[in-house]
A = this chain, B = another copy of it.
Amino acid sequence: MALIVQKYGGSSVANPERIKNIAKKIIARKKAGNDIVVIVSAMGETTDKLIRLARQIHPAPPSQEMDLLLSTGEIVSVALLAIAIESCGHQAVGLPGFLAGITTDTSHTKARIRHINPNRILEELKNGRIVIIAGFQGISFENAITTLGRGGSDLTAIAIAGALKADACEIYTDVEGVFTTDPRLIPEAKIIPIISHEELLEMASAGAKVMQSRAVEFAQKYKIPFVVKSSFTNKGGTMVRDVELKEGAVVSSVILDENQAKITFFHVPDRPGIAAQIFGALGGENINVDMIVQNVSKKDYTDLSFTLNRADLEKGLKISKEVARKIGCREVSADDDVAKITIIGIGMMNHPGVAARMFGTLAAGKINIEMISTSEIRIACVVRKRDGKKALALVHKEFIG
């Protein structure tokens, strides 16, 4: 008898028909002799509707009350799914986050799970019930309802799976798994059968819309394996777990991010503390800087470029110009006509020459590389925006096929 934790996203429970379908799938797994714990998100557009409602009252509603408001969306899904399961003659119990023993800190709208007391869940399982838990929510040490941030139901599922030492954790979504690249851009994109937590995290930070990063970080930290698969098909999905180097593909995924911009400081005095001044000022305004490249110094002066989210460009440029004046830099330029192409793969670690192969592929396509940044399992290049999709296709073909 296995203990299985499943998570169904908003599109899987978007209407009564889909909820009934999910119920059937859950019951089939129960009948096969498993103990089942299910985490659900709010139905379809519910969360967005509630946010719109709150904003009609206040453009920036207070976070504690927003959490109380948004937590209702998942509870509705929980109740309806429990009703669907019971209407098929199986016993179920629906639990809001606080009744499932999920305690968080007090960072409303992006709370962190601090503790899970699994006693209630275990007791309900012992009584033969299918346990349905509201994702995305908990209760703080100060006895206020909290939420875990967008995509927080993934985190709930992974944390519950960890606390219960579940035999399997299955994240059901509206895609068939984690793809080697966005299949809307590259029809040849394939599902990655096995991937490490690290690679999935790199994918998210490279701009791929996969899972909530905090959920993956949590899974990585506590070594919790899980599967990402579609609730609409029966395909295998993607297993996320510790990967032995020899198992992993050299390059597991290729990500194109067209929402980047570049700021360049020209002719910066090359003395200690300048970079700290620039990036300290940006960080102080919550602007996330991604790649940083500094040229070799010429006559005590250098050029310095970095990339940031295009949405932050205006604010970032304003701050940069202020810093430039202070440090005696002549010119700052902004460029949002760029794209970033990233390859990720745990196999790179023992395959030298991957970077050279990537640069060669882009060169063969006559695509100029403007910036390069590498880590143990990632290589990212900034190119002209018009070259982005072509670069993606060439690099995906070279490494994945």
Contact = CB atoms under 8 A, between A and B. Distances in A.
A57 B80 contact: yes
A72 B68 contact: no
A50 B62 CA distance: 26
Contact of A68 (B50, B69, B82, B145): B82
Given A76-B69, A83-B65, A96-B68, A57 B19 contact: yes
Contacts of A54: 79-80, 83
A58 B64 CA distance: 34
A145 B80 CA distance: 15
Interface string A57-75: 1100110111011011001
A64 B84 CA distance: 13
Interface size class of A (residues with CB under 8 A): 35 or more
Copies in the complex: 2
Nearest to A74: B72
Nearest to A17: B56
A78 interface: yes
Contacts of A69: 75-76, 79-80, 83
A86 interface: yes
A145 B96 contact: yes
B50 A65 contact: no
A364 to B, nearest CB: 57
A282 to B, nearest CB: 32
A120 interface: yes
B66 A84 contact: no
A79 B84 contact: no
A93 B82 CA distance: 30
Contact of A86 (B20, B62, B78, B79): B62
Contacts of A20: 57
A66 to B, nearest CB: 7
A61 B83 CA distance: 6
Interface string A132-153: 0000000000011100000000
Given A68-B96, A96-B68, A57 B83 contact: yes
A94 B80 contact: no
Nearest to A80: B57
Interface of A: 16, 19-20, 50, 53-54, 56-58, 61-62, 64-66, 68-69, 71-72, 75-76, 78-80, 82-84, 86-87, 92-94, 96, 98-99, 120, 143-145
Given A71-B75, A99-B144, 11 more contacts: A16-B53, A58-B83, A61-B87, A62-B86, A64-B93, A64-B94, A65-B83, A68-B75, A68-B94, A68-B96, A69-B80
